[in-house]
Amino acid sequence: MKNYSHSIVTKIFIFLLAILCFSGVIKAFVDIEIIRNSDFSTVFEESYFHSKSYVQESEALISDLTTLIREYKSEEHILNGGTISEEELRMEEETLYYDFQAHSLRYNPEQSEAKNYEVFKEEYADKITSLRDQLIKGDLKQFHLLLQRVEEYKNPLFYASDGVNIYTNSPKGEKENFKSYPSYMIFEDYKRELFPKELEENEYLLSHLTYLNEMNQDSQVISIAFPEKFLQESIKEWEANKEAAERGLLIFIGFSLGFILIFIYLMLVTGRKFFKDEEVHLHALDKIYNDIKILLCLGLIMLWVVLLDAVPFQSMEIMVIPLTVPIATAGFVLILSLIRHLKNRTFMKHSFIYVVLSKFIAFIRNVYESGSVGVKTVLIVVGYPILVAVTFFIFPITIGFAAWFALKKIKAFQAIQEGVERIKDGEIHHSIEVDGKGEFSRLASNINRITDGLNKAVDNELKSERLKTELITNVSHDIRTPLTSIITYVDLLKQENDPVKMAEYIEVLEQKSKRLKVMTDDLFEAAKASSGNIPVQLEKIDIVSLINQGLGEVSDKIEASELTFKLNHPEEKVFMLADGRLLWRSIENVLSNIFKYALKGSRVYIDIENQGNEILLTFKNISAYELNISADELMERFTRGDESRLSEGSGLGLSITKSLIEIQKGRFLIQVDGDLFKAVIYMPKYK
């Protein structure tokens, strides 16, 4: 089963079996219902006297006899006008009056109905007089046709009388003799007499007798008798039909069960390559829209009916299968395609109506959502009356929908109006909530963005003020310290005559002035880097070689700090696009930061990673100071890892690094996790 259950050969073979079984079902049905003019209910009939066939033998005859004795009676009765009622004459006269209104020039709508009726009687006098004769002629014609049809009956025997007129085909001509036949029905004096007694249990006969009960008046009688020979022939024919129906029912049930089981199997395997296959595999035929396929299926059914109806009756039994097989094949191919779409959950979406409606709705929605207020107003003004006209039969729902839509838009407008008032009064953190994607929603979103921008501007202004204060404090502290030392030692130098002490004072002055120079240089470089006025020359840089070379240049500082550097990099060469001078200046600042703040005797990890379009350079070390400030604050100018500011440095190194990396089209990030400090540089990869 695993090897062959879903193979194309198996599917074709099973499909052909399905067509065979379906054709067998149709053949069995046509044989019984059409060719034998019977039905499967014959199987459940106990005997001929319980059957529908018994009733059908006399049903048309009894109907004709009833019409004869109740309505027409005799030719003399018709000629005397016995079949014409005043109501019938009045209706015919009204028909003539309508003709008068439509075609006569003498009809005056401004006159009263009575006046017009007088004119009508005068103009149509001849036609009104001949109405009775025309009706009598029509009834007389129908009487003779009915009488001719009744006289053609040879069997069963009948006797019908209204007390005066007698109609019979019995050779004995007397109703009393009918009881001598093996089966008879007598309706007289509001009573019925049926023989044999099984007829009392014939449900078809009992439903057929409802109008006969209305016929049975005192003077009216209808008797029907089945002669022995005719009865035996009818019983024999019924038994043959019953046997054929039983055989046909077994064939019908067998083929039906086979078809159902096979078709269920086809439903399971169609579109799948194996039983647990989650994907439904569609074919070229599945591109046809599903509603078109449904129409094609209905057309195939109609075609089958029309072709079968055109086949001569004597050839029908032979032609059923040749007609059914090709049409059923085409039909079931379309049905299996519909089933594949059901399994794929695209039955509705893959229909022509759905596609057209969805595109139309999408077009209207796009026009409405992207258009100006004027366009939307025009769409509503033009479209709503059309919608009302199309849906006039449910106009209360249409009006209700329009009222709901208008109320929703009014609420949205009021929400925006109220929100603007609150923002105007100083509630800059207020957010206007409007659902949907329309004009009001976009307006509310834009206002919210304005408030967000205002909030950011206020926050940035507050942050800028704080930074200015901190900048002034830090700069004042960092510059004043060496400057105070310089002033102090200059005063001491003026008063000192000892050459040894003078040399010491001069050495201190040199140290303090150099530190002041470094700080002013860093300030100048920070301002220059943040303004972007530094020339940049991007080139191919071997980052591994650059790091190794740089570490060699600062080996004395590495030894002094007692740090161990671990460099991890890919085996293949890694090249980045950068300015070598600015990149090393950035790395040097990071290393300088590590030398100042890293825990002595700890390890420093430098990782180089190739991330496709970027090269990632990471520096990780353990801080000697407690990092109780955030990474963002460390990136600010004049911020240092030791808040006591005992270590030397301007606090500008990381800020300068960030600016230098960004002007090389890279990114610089700082991450702090407890005492772990991580500096991350992303640079474009050289291609």
Are β-strands 183-188 and 575-578 bridged in parallel, bridged antiparallel, or unpaired? unpaired
> Using 50, 70 and 90 to split pLDDT, how confident is the model at 474?
low
Structure confidence at residue 142 (pLDDT): 93
Average pLDDT over every residue of 614-641: 72
> Using 50, 70 and 90 to split pLDDT, how confident is the model at 525?
low
Listed range (15-29, 190-204, 478-492, 526-540) with the worst mean pLDDT: 526-540
Taking alpha carbons only, the member of 118, 136, 155, 20 closest to residue 72 is 136
Question: What percentage of the chain carries pLDDT values higher than 90?
Answer: 21
> Using 50, 70 and 90 to split pLDDT, how confident is the model at 529?
low
Asked whether residue 214 carries a pLDDT value surpassing 60, the answer given is: no
> Using 50, 70 and 90 to split pLDDT, how confident is the model at 331?
very high
Average pLDDT over every residue of 499-512: 80
Asked whether residue 95 carries a pLDDT value surpassing 60, the answer given is: yes
Encode 175-208: b = buried (16+ Cβ within 10 Å), e = exposed.
Answer: bebbeebebbbbbbeeebebbeeebeebebbeeb
Structure confidence at residue 233 (pLDDT): 93
**Confidence (pTM):** 0.47
Question: Do 80 and 86 contact (CB within 8 A), yes or no?
Answer: no
Average pLDDT over every residue of 309-336: 89
> Using 50, 70 and 90 to split pLDDT, how confident is the model at 637?
very low
Asked whether residue 38 carries a pLDDT value surpassing 80, the answer given is: no
Question: Do 64 and 167 contact (CB within 8 A), yes or no?
Answer: no
Give the tokens for residue 684. 């474009």
- The radius of gyration of the chain from alpha carbons, rounded to an integer in Å, stands at 54
Listed range (349-358, 515-524, 570-579, 673-682) with the worst mean pLDDT: 515-524
Write the single-letter amino acid at 487.
I
Listed range (459-473, 500-514, 640-654) with the worst mean pLDDT: 640-654
Structure confidence at residue 624 (pLDDT): 84
> Using 50, 70 and 90 to split pLDDT, how confident is the model at 522?
low
Structure confidence at residue 255 (pLDDT): 92
Most confidently predicted of 5-19, 22-36, 292-306, 553-567: 292-306
Distances (CA, A) of 158 to 57, 165, 191, 196: 12, 14, 17, 17
Structure confidence at residue 521 (pLDDT): 64
**3-class state of residue 541 by DSSP:** strand
**3-class state of residue 195 by DSSP:** strand
Structure confidence at residue 641 (pLDDT): 45
Which of residues 476 and 409 earns the better pLDDT score?
A: 409
Structure confidence at residue 416 (pLDDT): 82
